Amino acid sequence: MTFGRRPRLKTSGQILAELESFWKAGFRIVFVVDDNLIGNKKAIKPILSDIVRWQQERGYPLALSTEATLDLAEDEELMQLMGLANFWSVFVGIESPNEASLIEAKKLQNVRPKAGTLLERVHRIQSHGLEVWCGMIVGFDHDDLRCDTQIHRGCAHRQCSHRPVACHTNDATLRAAERVAQAQR
């Protein structure tokens, strides 16, 4: 598990003990908190395999969700393991439909052409039974007024059921909004 810049890994035993205590306490939905569950793919795959076994032995008592980067779409085994472990949703920081904004935010994993478009990658994750919650940011320096419409249309097309949006304003966006408001008077 990672948080910030220092990875801290729990053992399968620790994680399974936590899941067991949640289950015994009556919980049925658990959000696995991690900045990026798949940040260390080599370490998380055996843990996911153990979670799959734990879930199977108990009749899949817990529905799990987490957050990960869009890199998840590039690892077939990882998506399969997450589905088998009963992860039903994953929060993914899409951030923006605007490639220049993604580069500005250093979200380079979201602009790799060989990995597919944002839409293809979201659909790849969804094809493994994982609901994608898209995190979006409005107001990068490269955004204009079309960005909000692109986000709404893109999320509707991606079938993202949850669309958390953080709004950041910049001078160019504010000036453009003022021009539009004045033109409509």
Strand partners, 66: 90
Query: pLDDT of 100-118, one tens digit each?
Result: 888 888 888 888 888 888 8
Contact 10, 43 (CB under 8 A): no
How would residue 167 be classed by pLDDT, with cut points 50, 70 and 90? Answer: very low
Question: How far is 43 from 183, CA to CA, in rounded Å?
Answer: 56
Is a pLDDT exceeding 90 seen at residue 179? no
List the domains of the chain with CATH numbers. Answer: 2-183 (3.80.30.20)
Q: Which has more confidence, 55 or 93? A: 55
Question: Which of these, 112, 41, 37, lies nearest to 68 by C-alpha position?
Answer: 37
Range scoring the smallest mean pLDDT among 23-27, 72-76, 159-163: 159-163
Q: Give residue 64's identity as a one-letter amino acid code.
A: L
Question: How far is 109 from 123, CA to CA, in rounded Å?
Answer: 16
Query: pLDDT of 9-63, one tens digit each?
Result: 889 999 999 999 999 999 999 999 876 788 888 999 999 999 999 999 999 999 9
Range scoring the smallest mean pLDDT among 31-35, 102-106, 150-154, 159-163: 159-163
String of b and e for 16-36 (b: at least 16 CB within 10 Å)?
A: beebeeebeeeeeebebebeb
Give kind and range of the element (H or E) at residue 70: none
The average confidence (pLDDT) of the chain is 81
